[in-house]
Structures are given as structure tokens and as C-alpha cells.
A and B are shown apart, each in its own frame.
Chain A
């Protein structure tokens, strides 16, 4: 069977929804949805790190935890608790976010990022990283940029952005490459690959993902601004004698 993508262009991601501040108890929080893959992220901290021997007296440490909710898989129930896959994803998520984060002002402390997936349709680590990056910004931490993440890949000879579950499972030569990018510099902070791809195609498909990275950045930026924006309409309506600068 020859692969042909239905319903969207090869360089087009699924529908993206980004929200900030959805978990009031957290110091920072966000929600990122791409297609049917949904991620929540909550940031707690900086807070004191226990056990004490794990503390770093020169800076705060970042601790990420990626977890799929039991009902979030396409197939069987996902057994709760840490498994090797979740541990690895937690670790690469940490590494994807650390390059933009500056925790020197918080010696001996920890910033905890909890990523939860209520439903997934491939690309869950990327959605988690997108949510986590917004949550860290929402938590007021010092970071030189956001981090945007999406999967790219190919099926047979078709180069694709943001593969869904059915595409990843297509009976053909498939490669799936989750990426995370610092949008301002274009540097990569996450790069993994599953499958087989030619060297030339790899660079072509990474190039193909750039437009989506830009779209994700815009969605993240707008979500962050929306939470803190002073609604101009409300300001006009309620201010007596027009808007004053205080």
C-alpha cells in the first residue's frame, strides 16, 4: 500500500491548543494539545530539595516527571507507576528544557515539573515538553527562551510533520524523530529517532519541521500573554473618564 496523508498537508501539524495557568495550586502550569494528544504540566518550586544529599550548592536542579494516565493509551490500560519508557522520557525532557533555564539563583533547591498525559495519539513527549516550557515561564523562572517540540519523520518516501499513531504504525519504512528547538537560535535540545531514514532525508525533514516549530511558539506565546493581559475592553468600560496611566 502506498502511503498518502489524508486531511492535512505533509508539513502541517494537527490542531494546536495551548493554555496557561490551568492548575491553580501549582506555581506555574500549562496545557498543550496537538490533535488528540493532550498534556498537562505543573511546576512546583523552586522549593527545598530532599533528600539533602541530592542538593547542588551551586544551583537549583530541574526534576521532570512524565506520566501517562492509566486511560491515556490507544490500547490497553497503562499500568500506573514508573516504567523504563517513562523514566527515559522524563530524563530527555529535563535535558530538552535545561538549556534555556537559569537556576543559579536557587542553590540547594529543586524545580519540579510534573507532566501528565490524559490522552495520547503519538507525540506525547513533544506535547509534554511544549506544556512544560510554558509552565516554567508561568512560574516566573529565569529562562532565555521557550522550548518548542514536535515530531517529524517519514513514511516510505513521504516526509511528514507531526505523525499520529496510525501513521507511526503504518506498514512501511517509517521513521519518527521527536525534536525540541530553542526557537530564537534554532538549536536542538531534543533529538531522538525510531526507524530508518536516509541522511539527506533527515535534514530535509528537520527543515520541514521549522514551520510547525514557529506555529507552536506563537501558540505558546499567545497563551502566556493571554493569561496576564489586561483586557483592554474591560479597562475601557470600567475606568471612569477613560484609560489613565497609573
Chain B
């Protein structure tokens, strides 16, 4: 007889028994031990039919192919740049992936990106040994000028972006700030000083309250209160990015 020992949205800790019986299937964040499914990290339980998995709530960023990240240049290499990714591993931006321009061998690479510059880039490859390649060729990928950088829990990034980008669009609308959210938990914000402070406060609030239900509505009210600006209703106004 199979039995679930936890419910969706409960917090599980490492070693906790989540289900008994072979009718359930262990997925991310869990392992099977005999007829039991056990949590192998801290996470939010998510049950989908027979599949038992955990959603991470904490931990550093793990680089994944296809992620858009924000990082800073930490070194100039023979034929590219080393970029810090806010994870255990740094990434390499090769010359041919840096710009659409042709860069001749031996050119002064700091003319393009200097040490300390911040960039938005996309991960194109992660090897088993965690060597990371990134590219700057693609829409929205660029060097960041001005603005400020904040760090957030990388596991909360989807919540801050919101469904189809709704949450971040709302903050941008209310504060007039430019905001770019890296999957690696690095966020870039640029706008008028007061508005920037509001935008950052809102992002921190979402990070803190990420599991509160009806969060989008609450953030809307919060933003209206702090900016004194009426926001339009959240319907189809914010299309998919």
C-alpha cells in the first residue's frame, strides 16, 4: 500500500521521509531507499501525480545552459574575458562571442570589456567539469553602463520575474527604472535615485515574501502606496517577453 507522508507546499528537510511504496516516483531533490522516498535537500514539496519532487529554496546559483546571467569581468585572457558568475565557477567569454565586430588577434581586449565592467550574457555551454562558455551575441545581451547591482536568492528569481514577466514589468512601470534580472541572482537597476530605492525595496520584499499567496496583488498595492502612482490592472497588459 503506497502512502504520501507530506503534502505539496510543505517544507522538507534532508532525510525526511516523503512517501512509502513503489507507486510514487522520486524526482529532483529526493532519493529512493527501499520502498521509501526521502528528501536529499531542503526544499518545498511538489507532488505531480505520482512524481514527488522538491523545489529548492536556498543555495548558490548552479550554471545552466540557456540562462541569462549578469556578471563582471575579472580578467582578460589570451582570447577572451573571464566573467564572474556568482556561482562556484567563472565563465569564459570568447572573442568571437563578444561582439558582432571582428576582433583581430592581439587586439587590446580592454577596449571592448575592461576589468570591472558588468555585462548581461547568455550561457551557451556548461561541461561536466563546469567550464562555462557565454555569449554576448543576442537580443538584450550587452554591457551595463551605470546603475547599481544587487544580489538576491537565485531560487527566488522566477518569483521576481513573475508569470510571463508580470512582476518585474509592474516594478518597472511603477518606478520607471530599467531592471535586468540575471538567473544567477544578480540584478541590475537603473533609474532616478528615489525610484531606484523603491524598486530595490520591492524586489527585496518579493524575495522575502515569495511564498505568500496573492503576492502580485499585494506588490501592486505596495508599489502604489510607495510611489503614489496608480497602476493599471494586471491583465494582458504585460505580454510574454
Does chain A touch chain B in the assembled complex, meaning CB atoms less than 8 Å apart? yes
CA distance A242 to B204 in the complex (A): 25
CB distance from A164 to the nearest CB of B (A): 28
Partner of B129, one of A108, A142, A146, A245: A108
Contact with A along B197-217 (1 / 0, CB 8 A): 000000000000001111101
B158 interfacial contact with A, CB 8 Å: no
Q: Which residues in B have their C-beta under 8 angstroms from that of A144?
A: 14-15, 31, 38, 40
Query: Contacts A46-B88, A137-B14, A140-B56 known; A107 to B214 CB distance under 8 Å?
Result: no
B122 interfacial contact with A, CB 8 Å: no
Q: Kindly state the interface size class of chain A when it binds its partner.
A: 35 or more
A203 interfacial contact with B, CB 8 Å: no
Are A225 and B11 in touch, CB under 8 angstroms?
A: yes
Are A145 and B217 in touch, CB under 8 angstroms?
A: no
Give the number of residues in B that approach A within 8 Å (Cβ atoms).
33
Are B11 and A228 in touch, CB under 8 angstroms?
A: yes
Query: Contacts A138-B42, A140-B58, A141-B41 known; A243 to B213 CB distance under 8 Å?
Result: yes
Are B57 and A109 in touch, CB under 8 angstroms?
A: no
Contact with A along B6-41 (1 / 0, CB 8 A): 000101011111000000000000010000001011
B230 interfacial contact with A, CB 8 Å: no
B155 interfacial contact with A, CB 8 Å: yes
CB distance from B171 to the nearest CB of A (A): 19
CB distance from B71 to the nearest CB of A (A): 14
CB pairs A–B below 8 angstroms (28 shown):
A45-B60, A47-B60, A47-B88, A48-B89, A102-B40, A107-B129, A108-B130, A109-B88, A109-B130, A138-B42, A138-B58, A143-B14, A144-B15, A145-B15, A145-B38, A146-B14, A182-B15, A183-B15, A184-B17, A184-B38, A221-B16, A228-B11, A230-B211, A230-B212, A238-B214, A238-B218, A244-B214, A246-B213
Which B residues have a C-beta under 8 Å from some C-beta of A? 9, 11, 13-17, 31, 38, 40-42, 44, 56-60, 62, 88-90, 128-130, 155, 211-215, 217-218
Which A residues have a C-beta under 8 Å from some C-beta of B? 27-28, 45-48, 57, 60, 100, 102, 105-109, 137-146, 182-184, 220-221, 224-225, 228-230, 234-235, 238-240, 243-246
